[in-house]
Structure 1
Amino acid sequence: MLMRAPSECGSWFWDLDDVTAPGLEAALETAARMSAVLRTHELLEPAAVEWNWFEVGTGGLGIHSRLDLAGRGLDDASVAGQVKACRPAGYPAAEMSSFLVVGSGVWIDADGNPHREPRLVELTVSPDPVSSWAELSVHHDVWARCDFRGRPHPSVHDRNAPRLAAALRDLDTLLGVPGEPGEPTYFGKAEGHGLKAPEMIDGLGPDLTDLL
């Protein structure tokens, strides 16, 4: 069973201004194309989209929506229609700033056995007409050189990190802009197309389990 960090171990951000059209339909199409790349690497099989509602001048409304895809593609016309239909009746001016593509992916253990894990990677896309963007984040230690206890696990790293790196390179190619590493967190930092190697003391990395 994998431990999951409450904040990301690494993230990558793509500024899509002047790259994709604004609006929900275009954002869903972008998410569909990105998900297709991630599916090729067995990192994400989309099952639903989730988002929060806000109002300009008010902020977050504390209302969360989820739409199951039920086998449909993210770019299916019915998905955009249903997302819009989820707008809270009491807040006709409510908008979404971004949506999360929810699904599962495959990681490989030290013995080479594949395991399917929910939310192995998280893909977020913004339909904001002012500033469109996409972000990919990871919350597990299988991409890192050490597990969350600080113990090196080269077999796990070598079976998973190259898959993530290949997917990130393919996303850069797909979008036509390079993904920028996100801000570091307690659990790690993105560097290039992978996670930055931890500082080692006596052959061990930092023990991060105090915040898990």
Structure 2
Amino acid sequence: MITSEPIGDWTWEVTTGEELRPVQAAEAAVTVWNVLESYGLAQPTGRVSVSARSVEEARDVRVQAVGLPLAQDPLSPDTALSHAMTEVDSLEGGFVVGVRVECPGYWLESGARHRAEKLFAIQVDIWKSSLLVATLQTYGDAWLTMDTRGREQPDLHAVNAPRLAGALQGISRVFGVTPTPGAMNRHATPSAEGFEDPRIEGLAYTDSWGTFEIAERSRLLRSGIPDSEDEYEESTDHPVRYFTVRRNGRTLGYVWASLGDDAAGYEPRTAAGEEAFRLGAAWLLRLRTAHRQGLTPLAALAWSAQSAPSSQAGEIVEDTPQEAPSLDFLEELSGRY
């Protein structure tokens, strides 16, 4: 399953005894990215953000560049990252310099390679030009012996966990220190080699994905639109009908309607990344319009399929809706692949 919040993280703290230059934060982030790529975990594309804020006053932000494209050679002259680091380097005074890379990456399953637009995130901070702190986060559960719904997955673990363990070791060799695993969270317990085995340690929650991720996805989906009481119910215990929403050949999510009550909505495909949530909000607004017109959920589904919210919001790919035995089934589909 793919999550919108990290299921685990590892941190390396490096003190060199020499003054660190701001560009070394970017160099370290790119190095970690390269290690992930060498183990087949990361795609050589992505987005990078750069910040510089005062050590004394965190709200005093001097540089804030968000969502810059990560080029194949990201620190070569004239790249967006190179320009941002030049701006940071021109600052005078004590600053915390931060570089964050969100990495598209791959996990293996049933002999196929599956991609998530944010499978890993790399955060590198330099404090007062003397301490470098690098953190790696993962947003997938392919490395676990039990998935985040509490089901054993020995085959998935066997082909993916060694790749993650190798990458962690490779990053440790680069920095010359071993990582400090993050604390146990509601999804999993990180270790220096990957994750603890929940079959031995026990699960914090039997179905952490269903318990927490569904609510978090709903929050992210609705964060970009105003609150409204003029909408269908968010959940149902009945079977649902749904259409697949795609844009530029990529599945972004599923717009659905209940067969038995007044529920309808949109399930973002988490692996598609921020685009699934951003464009999914347009489909929710479309359903609100249908609700104001007094349409039943199934009528709203048909109406939405005939008239997409906009040319940029994706398109319905089926002529007739598919049927799922439950909303949980559709939620799992949108969170798994």
Q: Which residue of 2 aligns with 1:126?
A: 125
Contact 2:146 2:199 in 1 (8 A): no
CA distance in 2, matches of 1:25, 1:77: 13
| Identical aligned residues as a percent | 23
Scaled by the length of structure 2, the TM-score of the pair is 0.53
Q: Which residue of 2 aligns with 1:192?
A: 192
3-state DSSP of counterpart to 1:142: coil
One-letter code aligned to 2:155: S
One-letter code aligned to 1:169: Q
Q: Which residue of 2 aligns with 1:211?
A: 212
Given the alignment of the two structures, is residue 116 of structure 1 paired with residue 115 of structure 2, yes or no?
A: yes
Is 186-195 or 56-65 further displaced after alignment?
Answer: 56-65
5+ residue gaps, structure 1, are none
Tell me which structure has the larger Cα radius of gyration: 2
CA offsets 1:21-80 (integer angstroms, 9 cap, x no match):
51221122222222221111121234221245544443246966221134332x324455
1:129-208 aligned at under 5 Å gives the runs: 129-199=129-199, 206-208=206-208
Contact 1:168 1:193 in 2 (8 A): yes
One-letter code aligned to 2:133: W
One-letter code aligned to 2:168: L
CA offsets 1:145-167 (integer angstroms, 9 cap, x no match):
11111010111111111100011
3-state DSSP of counterpart to 1:127: strand
Q: Which residue of 1 aligns with 2:307?
A: none
The structure in which a higher percent of residues are helix is 2
Q: Alignment partner for residue 11 of structure 1, among 9, 12, 16? A: 9
CA distance in 2, matches of 1:21, 1:104: 32
Q: CA deviation at 1:84?
A: 4.5
Q: Which one scores higher on RCO, CA 8 angstroms, separation ≥ 6?
A: 1
Q: Size of the alignment, in residue pairs?
A: 204
Cα pair distance change 1:53/1:68, threshold 3 Å? same
Q: CA deviation at 1:81?
A: 4.3
Contact 1:198 1:206 in 2 (8 A): no
CA distance in 2, matches of 1:182, 1:116: 24
Contact 1:99 1:126 in 2 (8 A): yes
One-letter code aligned to 2:115: R
Q: Which residue of 1 aligns with 2:232?
A: none
Cα pair distance change 1:53/1:108, threshold 3 Å? same
CA offsets 1:125-159 (integer angstroms, 9 cap, x no match):
11331421111111211111111110101111111
CA distance in 2, matches of 1:152, 1:121: 23
3-state DSSP of counterpart to 1:121: strand
CA distance in 2, matches of 1:20, 1:57: 22
CA RMSD of the aligned region, Å? 3.1
Q: Which residue of 1 aligns with 2:297?
A: none
One-letter code aligned to 1:48: R
3-state DSSP of counterpart to 2:122: strand
Q: Which residue of 1 aligns with 2:318?
A: none
CA distance in 1, matches of 2:170, 2:186: 28
CA distance in 2, matches of 1:184, 1:76: 39
Q: Alignment partner for residue 36 of structure 1, among 34, 37, 51? A: 34
5+ residue gaps, structure 2, are 214-337
